[in-house]
């Protein structure tokens, strides 16, 4: 079996850009200072917050376009990034949602790319693995666990409808897709190319995903120290077992929808 590799150094550069603009620099510094009871300069904190707000704005406006470029450039080795046919369908749906919400300035660029990618998909222009039995097992388990949670947790459905959280989660679907591509897709491929075992890869991606949610360290300690690490590992295990980003994407979406 040929080991999947990135097609060009440009791919590594784009992956690095996505990590940089998603990196919560202000949250990490502020929370570490608070954790170790160290003094903080208001000027430095304000500067870091300004940087983080700017990079997050870039994430909202351009991350999906960069993710689209990653898929297009690596269309002959997408299976190495755990991208299968089911995920490509989800990606195309996410692209439509993105264009509706961010048509200016990046949506109008993605729109023709979306048409081109759809044509390539129909003509089998992407190297995509078919779904496996493990894929369907993982999807079923995800839905069963979600339905059990809804059944046991009274008021979840009312919360979803009344709070508008479900609507917000649908609108944020493109960014959930980008995060899955980043952490459990192309990062996974990169670490695999370093000959790391997949158990180590699960741990590395989970650690990074956890740290990227450091905002919750003091605003919701249980969420940060318990829930997010468990979810981060679970998403990695699901990807490893199913060889697809789709179950993790589904679980990620459902988790965001019910998180209060």
**Integer Cα distance of 164 and 166 in angstroms:** 5
**Integer Cα distance of 67 and 72 in angstroms:** 9
In this structure, what token pair is assigned to residue 203?
A: 């741990």
pLDDT in tens, the chain (260 residues): 444 455 578 999 999 999 999 999 999 999 999 999 999 899 999 999 999 999 999 999 999 999 999 998 898 889 899 999 999 999 999 999 998 888 777 888 888 888 888 888 888 888 888 888 999 999 999 999 988 887 777 767 666 666 577 778 888 999 999 999 999 999 999 999 999 999 999 999 999 999 999 999 999 999 999 999 999 999 999 999 999 999 999 999 999 888 75
**Integer Cα distance of 39 and 251 in angstroms:** 39
| Cross-strand bridge partners of residue 129 | 84
Of 201, 203, 224, nearest in space to 213 by CA: 224
| Strand, coil or helix: 132 | coil
- Burial (CB count <10 Å: 0-12, 13-18, 19+), residue 250: buried
Helix (H) or strand (E) holding 238: helix 228-242
pLDDT at 2: 42
pLDDT at 163: 59
Phi, psi of 127 (to 5 degrees): -85, 100
pLDDT at 34: 93
Identify the DSSP state of 184. I
**Integer Cα distance of 75 and 184 in angstroms:** 17
- Whether residue 239 contacts residue 247, with contact meaning beta carbons closer than 8 Å, is answered with yes
What pTM value is reported for the model? 0.91
Helix (H) or strand (E) holding 78: none
């Amino acid at each position: 079996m040929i080991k999947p590799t990135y097609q060009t150094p440009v791919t590594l550069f784009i992956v690095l850009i996505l990590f940089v603009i998603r990196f919560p620099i202000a949250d990490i510094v502020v929370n570490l200072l608070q954790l170790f009871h160290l003094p903080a300069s208001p000027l430095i904190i304000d500067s870091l917050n300004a940087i983080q707000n700017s990079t997050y704005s870039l994430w909202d406006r351009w991350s999906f376009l960069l993710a689209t470029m990653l898929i297009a450039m690596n269309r002959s080795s997408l299976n190495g990034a755990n991208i299968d046919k089911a995920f490509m369908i989800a990606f195309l749906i996410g692209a439509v949602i993105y264009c509706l919400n961010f048509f200016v300035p990046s949506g109008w660029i993605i729109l023709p790319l979306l048409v081109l990618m759809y044509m390539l998909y129909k003509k089998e222009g992407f190297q995509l693995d078919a779904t496996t039995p493990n894929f369907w097992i993982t999807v079923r388990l995800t839905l069963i666990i979600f339905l059990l949670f809804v059944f046991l947790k009274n008021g979840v459905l009312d919360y979803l409808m009344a709070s508008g959280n479900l609507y917000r989660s649908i609108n944020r679907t493109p960014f959930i897709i980008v995060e899955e591509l980043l952490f459990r897709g192309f990062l996974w491929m990169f670490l695999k190319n370093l000959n790391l075992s997949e158990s180590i890869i699960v741990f590395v991606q989970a650690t990074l995903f956890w740290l990227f949610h450091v905002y919750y360290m003091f605003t919701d300690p249980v969420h940060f120290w318990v829930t997010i690490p468990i979810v981060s590992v679970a998403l990695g295990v699901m990807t490893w077992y199913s060889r697809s980003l789709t179950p993790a994407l589904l679980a990620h979406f459902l988790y965001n929808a019910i998180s209060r």
